[in-house]
Structure 1
């Protein structure tokens, strides 16, 4: 082998080494919250189980995962703020919430475990706005943002109110540039908690999100089809999206997970 061919071979090997040693891997951060043990609104079976399953799956797919269970309003705000601060510099940001949620004046709120909503006016003060997450994602400007809201259950407090809210389930949210927002069911409708270990919606996500042949949007199309069929058309998942550029494959571009890497898990913060 002459010197020129040797130089070309070494250059090619160097490029291959660079490619396989992480410079093309995506930096991914996920915040997972599951609220099940409601003090006043009635406990839910699935959210904590769903959060644990989602955290484990995403961690295996190269996400740095922040997972929390059964949070108060102050704790929810604090971990969302921490997530917002850490998002900058990541290629992919993902937020997943399972638990009670409610819409109020066209905005969506996640209900913390200690909430005791005696009237509709308390929602803005005692619950946590989903717009808080959207705002942090807009500021961080990751290439791809994903918000998954498995929070379309019936309002557990409404029966004690003097008047009912204007609409069940969650409201449609505008997806900022580069963002996909996914709902367990169509805006303004509700979904049951479910009888299995995991909820119907999250189970379908876990099934398809690891498929390397599917883009992010195709994952949720598959999820919608499966949930619709299994629920007898009683639950139809929904998305709003403003994704741009090249197709994003969640199961590709994954940095190998080191043995010492662990999910950040705190039941009480």
Structure 2
């Protein structure tokens, strides 16, 4: 059994394709760990490294890699550079000659077709083939970052096969990035780290298999750049191909694995800290070495948090400068999001509280100055047609509504008033959970409205769904519009949510959480019909409320 490797990095391109300085650095890092006698243990004579090759050189090297091999030989092909799709969906790997027509269409004779590589792999007698592609399959470019491909391709069918494992830096519809100022591409950085540190050997057998290496890199990439999702395509024994050695019984490696297990959401847990302190002593590690290992493990998450903060600062500056964001600014923010490797859901958790803070900061001081009596007075006068019966009942039976009224923010009051208007609009003679939902959307500026807006929930669509479920009313309007039992329950649940979140007011966000919790309510059916993931919606509302609460803003 022998081991052969071909490492190709293409950094320099013809006009029309961005340069990728990190690609050449990628192959140097891969060469270092694969040739190391205690890691990859590939012989120097059996490894070929090509920087910026033209097409004919690249294809000849690939053919040499797979030719004249025995069944048990390990053959590894690594590529870092642009991946490009033609109009029929076929993948090509770029060369230093690769270029496009003015129309943007690939000049196929300047790139290496994946189908050509697949044919060479099929003809090879080796049944242990590993392909690692650090290029993505959906093209986009952002300042400071170079996307390394163009459009979607079917990697599994184009390169997959028995006894073969294909590792890619992202899925067929996502980005793979290199970032200016970094030596290595995001994906390759953690492939190298998994081998070099031995941390990818999760079963502690002294060997790193393909599936272990993939899982380690995948986890780290998503901690640092959640917009990327590395994939593995393997058949049967392809998953268990051994790619490198790992030390057994190494104190630093053992401590690193302990740290990995004790980290939750980018922090060492309370009990985890005690575990690590005991393990540090048992393994004989100095405080400095232990701290260095912890920092290395936590670095991806810290990088992600730093990117979140940078985007939040950029958004706040744009809002301060423009007030209402222009389409051009939104497009720039989208490009910046890609540069920071953030998902849309990451951005949602930033945009809502920043926008709310801008809208409410001028009002917060005024709201804090209101006395409890004034707020109750305002609430009663705005809701007298809706809640007079409930108010009287609460006063007679010492029900807790009095506390509720004290806690309603101005925006929550406005949402209920608008719910009343929606009831009249539909010709109904009651206020249900669906009308409360419509009121929350119409209010427009609170937590609930902002989060629903970012989820793509529009007032017109919601009204249509409400009408589908409950229809139009007779138009008869009683002197008093009562809450349905479910609507009353939503208000009770909003109180519970406020208490759980440890604030002494009921905001629009709390009302929305109450709607979500009442599974039998019409509001939940409406949201589900609109394609909303209720758990994700809840998490986002809670996150936004907490951020706003930390800034002492109670006008949601």
TM norm structure 1 = 0.73
SS in 2 for 1:149: strand
Q: What is the Cα deviation at residue 219 of structure 1?
A: 1.2
Deviation track 1:223-247 (CA, whole Å, cap 9, x = no partner) reads 111101101x111111111142893
In 1, distance between residues paired with 2:140 and 2:19? 10
CA contact (8 A) 2:89 2:152 kept: no
Q: What is the Cα deviation at residue 121 of structure 1?
A: 5.2
Residues 72 and 90 of structure 1: is their aligned pair in 2 closer, same or farther, counting only changes over 3 Å? farther
Deviation track 1:22-78 (CA, whole Å, cap 9, x = no partner) reads xxxx41101110000113212112100001111221122222211100011122122
* Residue aligning to 1:237: 230
CA contact (8 A) 2:136 2:174 kept: yes
Aligned-pair RMSD on alpha carbons? Answer: 2.5
In 1, distance between residues paired with 2:240 and 2:20? 36
In the alignment, structure 1 residue 27 sits paired with structure 2 residue 2: yes
Counterparts of 1:45-56 in structure 2, within 5 Å, are 45-56=21-32
Alignment length (residue pairs): 218
Match for residue 78 of structure 2 among 96, 100, 113: 96
Deviation track 1:136-163 (CA, whole Å, cap 9, x = no partner) reads 2222232311111112276489xxxxxx
CA contact (8 A) 1:101 1:170 kept: no
Q: Which runs of 5+ in 1 are unaligned?
A: 1-25, 158-166, 254-269
Q: What is the Cα deviation at residue 208 of structure 1?
A: 1.3
SS in 1 for 2:237: coil
Q: What is the Cα deviation at residue 123 of structure 1?
A: 4.0
In 1, distance between residues paired with 2:131 and 2:28? 17
Deviation track 1:88-122 (CA, whole Å, cap 9, x = no partner) reads 46621110000111122232101111222114654
* Residue aligning to 1:126: 110
Range with greater deviation from structure 2 (144-153 or 122-131): 122-131
Q: Which runs of 5+ in 2 are unaligned?
A: 142-149, 199-205, 247-556
Residues 97 and 203 of structure 1: is their aligned pair in 2 closer, same or farther, counting only changes over 3 Å? same
**Greater helix share, 1 or 2?**
2
* Residue aligning to 1:136: 120
In 2, distance between residues paired with 1:153 and 1:48? 20
**Greater strand share, 1 or 2?**
1
TM norm structure 2 = 0.37
Match for residue 58 of structure 1 among 34, 49, 70: 34
* Residue aligning to 1:80: 62
SS in 1 for 2:161: coil
In 1, distance between residues paired with 2:63 and 2:104? 25
SS in 1 for 2:214: helix
Range with greater deviation from structure 2 (100-109 or 44-53): 100-109
Q: Larger relative contact order (C-alpha < 8 A, sep ≥ 6)?
A: 1
CA contact (8 A) 2:163 2:235 kept: yes
* Residue aligning to 2:184: 198
CA contact (8 A) 1:32 1:95 kept: yes
